[in-house]
Amino acid sequence: MVAPMNFNEEYTRRIDYIEKILRRYLPAQEGYQKVIMEAMEYSLMAGGKRIRPMLMLETYRLFGGEPGMIAPFMAAIEMIHTYSLVHDDLPAMDNDEYRRGRKTTHIIYGEDMGILAGDALLNYAFETACRSFDLDGEYAVRAGKAMKILAGKAGIYGMIGGQVVDVKESGHEVSGDVLDFIYRLKTSALIEASMMIGAVMAGAEDEDIRTVEQIARKIGLAFQIQDDILDVTSTTEVLGKPVHSDEKNKKTTYVTLKGIEESKKDVERMTAEAIRELNRYPAQDEFLEQLLKSLVYREK
């Protein structure tokens, strides 16, 4: 008889594995510019749920990927995500002092180094992902495809584009369509990149990669709506960052448009749909299903 999976144990095991990878790919702290390597480590190793590399790894496994080949992209996606948080916290953006339960990077290292640490993580993400080109034959071809996805989903047609509209539309009410656009780009794009890159590096067919993109889009939307809910219902101690930040920044969110109860139902519905669509694949992944379910009821 197969023993039932202990989700919490498996989750902790994966966090440890991902953090080992992140440490392995961080640059050595040396040279006249050492302070930037310190600031990169400070922000990258501050904890966090590591959802993006985790989804990448699980999708890679779902499509039969061999151990090891995906590691540079797992590190790269978390570096890009962390850079976005470092910049999002800057005085010119949300001006926040706490993130992941500790002082934000610009508070510790100053605004100038905060900007540079974000830039450094973004650039180093691509330097890290480029290491996949050193892999053998077919993997180098897959790495090229994955790189294109990473660059596109992080850029003006992806996360940065979403952030631009989010910042531009702050301070007044926006329509549901504009909000969907912001969420799809600002939050879903990196989750799409994570899962698509997992599939690409495992050698999935183009049609499956497109399906994975659609599934990840739903997961990203559900994730962002839950983020909106927690901003209203949670506490600074639990979240590790300020609550009521959407109200402070006068942002339209799913919660302001639809209310908490409706938003919760949407998170549950989108997650159930994503799980159903993933379950069509013959190689099922119990951890992935549990992970998606846990995101619906997450507290931070």
Comparison of 84 and 263: residue with beta carbon closer to ligand GRG:
84
Cβ closest to ligand GRG, residue 83 vs residue 139:
83
Q: How far is 253 from 230, CA to CA, in rounded Å?
A: 12
Pairing of strands 102-103, 98-99: antiparallel
Residue of minimal Cβ distance to ligand GRG: 48
Choose between 113 and 143: whose C-beta lies nearer to ligand GRG.
113
Q: 10 exposed, middle or buried (CB, 10 Å; 0-12, 13-18, 19+)?
A: middle
One-letter amino acid of 133: F
> Smallest distance, Å, CB 225 to ligand GRG?
10
The nearer residue to ligand GRG, 121 or 202, going by C-beta atoms, is 121
In angstroms, how far is the first alpha carbon of the chain from the final one? Answer: 35
Consecutive H or E run containing 102:
strand 102-103
Closest distance of CB 92 from ligand GRG, Å? 8
Shortest spacing between CB 290 and ligand GRG, in angstroms: 17
Residue 80 in contact with residue 155, Cβ under 8 Å? no
The burial of 254, by beta-carbon neighbours within 10 Å (0-12 exposed, 13-18 middle, 19 or more buried), is given as buried
CB of 61 to ligand GRG, least distance (A): 20
* CA-closest candidate to residue 231, choices 241, 218, 223, 222: 241
Q: Which is nearer to ligand GRG, 129 or 143 (CB)?
A: 129
Give Cα 237 distance to the centre of its chain.
22
Q: For binding to ligand GRG (CB under 6 A), which residues are involved?
A: 48-49, 51, 84, 87-88, 100, 159-160, 163, 186-187, 224, 227
Q: How far is the CB of 234 from ligand GRG (least distance, A)?
A: 12
CA-to-CA distance for 292 and 274, rounded, in angstroms?
9
CB of 156 to ligand GRG, least distance (A): 10
Least distance from ligand GRG to the Cβ atom of residue 230, Å:
9
**Shortest gap between Cβ of 140 and ligand GRG (angstroms)?**
29
196: number of Cβ within 10 Å: 26
Q: How far, rounded to the nearest angstrom, does the alpha carbon of residue 122 sit from its chain's CA centroid?
A: 14
Q: Would you say 132 or 188 has its CB closer to ligand GRG?
A: 188
C-alpha closest to that of 18 among 28, 6, 26: 26
* Cβ-based neighbours of 139, under 8 Å, separated by 6 or more: 69, 132, 201
Nearer to ligand GRG, 48 or 198 (CB): 48
When the beta carbons of 143 and 231 are compared against ligand GRG, the nearer one is: 231
Residues 234 and 198 sit within 8 Å (Cβ to Cβ): no
